[in-house]
Amino acid sequence: MASSLTRWWQRRRTARETAPPAGRLAGEQLAYAASDRRQGAEPALLEYEAAYASCDDVYAAVSLLADNAAMVPLRVLVAGQAAPEHPLQRLLDRANPQQGAKQFWIRAYAQLWLTGETYLVVERQHPLDADRPSELWAFSGRVMEPLPDPQQYLRGYRFRPPGTAGDGVELAPRDVVPVLLFHPTRPLRGLSPLTALRLGLATELHAKRANHDLFRNGLLTDVAISFDFASDEQRQRTREALRQAHAADGRRHGILVLENSTRVEKLSLSPRDAEFLELDKLTTRDVAKAYRIPPMFLAQLDHATLRNYETAYRALWELAILPRVGQMATALTEHLAAQYGPTVTVEPDLSGIEVLRAADRERAATYGALVAAGLAPQWAGQRVFGSGWSAAALAAGEVGR
């Protein structure tokens, strides 16, 4: 039996058979769609999609985090052992027919960092088992509405594609994997990191529009030309001569020849008008702080060296990327892997992340130095690797992963 989402999409496709095709599949069409899309002129109206599309700092931060997080494979374990042929593993490796693993996970992580929430919707249309998950689609909170219940806490979710009539379709909790950043006042929703930056981002967007107009039209007249005496005809003739000589690409900064009685006074910007660059740096620092990104990765290179760049890159992974990758794996374990059995879990495979392997090698060298100095191996291992360490894991190169 097809799932409710599949039946809804089939009904919509049948109703539009005579219309030109608008896209390939529902997931591709609707993942980033939003009703009432406004370009946030005021802080209260600043939308996350508008900030991503308009603010270079937000685009750089979100794409940096999502692209790197998508490089971490998620592996399925059965009773603690890797199961590369497990149906859930195949689902995570190829979420749906239209998206490969990297494209799918970039979208899922980008929505999480941009809006504070991403919902993985499960399709069940496997030819051999109607109840087995066969596809995953990532949607933002724009199209997903949690339905609270006084007895069950959560009754399900309502999938509401924008631009469609009706109330959408209701999905059962088992068909949705929610991944949310903590929201202090709305426990069923996620809080975007951009929420705390609304005022600053709106201010910078206004400043960049004003700066664009400044370069296009000029904030002030560049020079003031005055005569001891000039008729209207002479003033008009002077304006026209200046326009023809200097008002086009390739004509600026040419030689200006005027009569002896003419005086030219250069005008300049006030200090207040020149504060745009400092505002841009401040916004970059604020975005870096909200996303836990070392500022040098957003082109703030004031104090960057090769050594602190390497340290900052490790901090980027350990403080910003890995917590969200771990959160994604935990959500999949709790909401999806449990449907395959109590011993099935999902965890990130960090073995391919070079910066983390370098950190493991440094810890192993520290451990070796402590043991060589005569300290007890058990004590040294716990201090360097934590309470979950073991000599066997160290020998296999698995400690710290």
pTM of the predicted model as reported, rounded to 2 decimal places: 0.71
Q: Is residue 223's pLDDT more than 70?
A: no
CA distances 48 to 43, 122, 202, 257, 322, Å, are 11, 25, 11, 53, 23
Q: 363 versus 23: which is more confidently predicted?
A: 363
183-211 average pLDDT score: 80
Tell me, what's the pLDDT at 81?
A: 92
CA-to-CA distance for 398 and 357, rounded, in angstroms? 10
In terms of C-beta density within 10 A (0-12 exposed, 13-18 middle, 19 or more buried), how is residue 255 classed?
Answer: exposed
pLDDT digits (tens, 9 = 90+) for 239-254: 777 777 666 666 665 6
Token digits of residue 109:
């992580």
Token pair in block for residue 351: 């073995």
Bridge-based pairing of strands 117-123 and 81-82 is: unpaired
3-state helix, strand, coil in the chain (%, to 5): 50, 15, 35
C-alpha angle with apex 115: 299 to 297, nearest 5 degrees?
15
Beta carbons within 8 Å of 245's beta carbon, 6+ residues apart: 251, 254, 256
Per-residue pLDDT at 40: 33
Q: What DSSP string runs through 289-336?
A: HHTT--GGGGT--TT--HHHHHHHHHHIIIIIIHHHHHHHHHHHHHHT
> What pLDDT, in 10s, does the model give residues 81-110?
999 999 999 999 999 988 888 899 999 999
Q: Residue 336 above 50 pLDDT? A: yes
Note the pLDDT of residue 20: 36
Domain range summary for the chain, segments of one domain joined by +: 1-11+28-215+271-349, 221-268, 353-401
Whole-number Å distance between alpha carbons of 336 and 356: 28
| pLDDT of 101 | 85
Chain mean pLDDT for the chain: 77
What angle is formed at CA 92 by the lines to CA 90 and CA 93, rounded to 5 degrees? 65
CB atoms within 10 A of CB 46: 23
pLDDT class for 373, splitting at 50, 70, 90? Answer: confident
pLDDT digits (tens, 9 = 90+) for 7-60: 655 655 555 444 433 333 333 333 333 323 333 333 344 578 878 888 888 999
Q: How far is CA 207 from CA 42, 199, 204, 386, in A?
A: 13, 12, 5, 48
Q: Which of 69-73, 106-110, 277-281 has the lowest mean pLDDT?
A: 277-281
- 384 with 367: CB under 8 angstroms? yes
Cα angle 172, 174, 175 (rounded to 5 degrees) comes to 70
Does residue 168 come out as left (phi exceeding 0), alpha (psi in the -120 to 50 range) or beta?
left
Contact 136, 203 (CB under 8 A): no
Q: Identify which has the larger pLDDT, 161 or 222.
A: 161
